[in-house]
Amino acid sequence: MTDPSTSSGTGTATVTIAIDGPAGSGKSSVSKEAARRLGFGYLDTGAAYRALAWHVLDLGAETSDESAVQDAAERFPYAISLDPDRYWVRVGDRDVTEAIRDPRVTAAVSGVARIPAVRTRVNALFRALVRDSGRPGVVVEGRDITTVVAPDAPVRILLTADPDVRAARRSAELQGEDAGAVATALHRRDAADSKVVDFLTAAPGVSVVDSTDLDFAQTVAAVLDVVAAGTQTHTQEMHDGR
């Protein structure tokens, strides 16, 4: 199997920047801006699980039904844009970019993501999207990118923040919703997802960027600093034949 962290279907090396982190850490907005600055593609892996949850619900099934989820995953006509400035998500011919952010879908995502066979299938999809992107690099963000999807990526980052800060940020994003309910939902999702993958602790070799006391611009700068150092080291190692 070709190493997905450094290859593409065009024959041109594709650099993977792997970013993990919990909800509200800023990983989506920061990853997207970092991709813009670098001239890279941007892959929101969480969108695939959301889209699959939406797909299961649209079929009239429940994400608590493991068999139904696996059946839906086998017939999952998923597509996503890697352009950070023209982001969209589709299931078949339906644009679900906004629909997958619906609270009903959010509440159902963990039921999809907890199934090992589904994660294996979706992770293979992520690797294929990077491999065939034709871009110089792709910033890939999610929950287990640094450890499972692209463990050999030249740059691996855990973007985190204090739980209360994360809850406040998520509440600000979801204007009109009760702040307490948003915080409860965030902590519940973290707890559920952490049973499947550890996205709160940095694996060996993963750089930690704590955005608790950083604003958006400072967080982006901190991530780009890690990227610059990591890609320089990777380039030198390739030059040295390691």
Going by the annotation, the residues of the binding site for ATP are 21-29
Assign 3-class secondary structure to the chain.
CCCCCCCCCCCCCCEEEEEECCCCCCHHHHHHHHHHHHCCEEEECHHHHHHHHHHHHHCCCCCCCHHHHHHHHHCCCEEECCCCCCCCEEECCEECCCHHHCHHHHHHHHHHHCCHHHHHHHHHHHHHHHHCCCCCEEEEEECCHHHHHCCCCCEEEEEECCHHHHHHHHHHHCCCCCHHHHHHHHHHHHHHHCCCCCCCCCCCCCEEEECCCCCHHHHHHHHHHHHHHHHHHHHHHHHHCC
Say how far apart CA 186 and CA 164 lie, in whole Å: 10
User: Which residues participate in the annotated binding site?
Assistant: 21-29
Q: Which amino acid is at 17?
A: I
Taking alpha carbons only, the member of 98, 99, 87 closest to residue 57 is 99
